[in-house]
Amino acid sequence: MVSYSELLETLRRELESEEPRSLPRDYYAEVKEYLNYLVRKARESKSEVERRIYSREYELAKLIAVKLFLLRVAKFVNAYFKRGEVESSPGLAKEELELLGYLKSTLERLVEVAPPEEGEERGEMVLVSFKSPCSKTMVRGAVLGPFSEGDLAYLPKEVAMALVEQGVAEIVGE
């Protein structure tokens, strides 16, 4: 089980590093054990002051744990944009590995397209970010969308250019 000071120190180290720092596989299980301990101590407290202290420590520890997890996820996503791939690392916690696996499979499905048929030329694809919602559209016999604001998608360049002209998307990568 981690302590409040260990949890805070882990967040501090993570904030100082550009790459995710190494964590034990069961790190978040230890954090959860600590959070459960604080809830139990708050319930068992005989005095109101003690109950409030444990409750406040629980709220702060939960906030730190969430911020730590999201910071590390942001680093994975940032690494994807830098390197073009999501990498697994031995220093990732079990929950992070699960999320990383989900992220990889989602990204693979996102860009999965049927190979061009013989004689059919595959056009240039670009990465777009949607600035506003966009309903389904038909391109080369395939239905694309719907897309929400903030969604990313690899689309044929001619489709992307039309969306840019309509003001619903912007090209973020080629």
Give the end of a domain, one of 108, 139, 156: 108
pTM for this one? 0.60
Same domain, residue pair 127 and 76:
no
Range of the domain at 157: 121-173
Strand partners for 155: 126
Sole residue written with tokens 């910071």: 71
Distance CA 93, CA 21 (A): 10
Handedness of CA 135, 137, 143, 147 (dihedral sign): negative
| pLDDT tens-digit map of 119-169 | 555 568 888 888 988 887 766 666 777 888 888 887 888 888 888 898 888
Q: CATH number of the domain that 77 lies in?
A: 1.20.58.1030
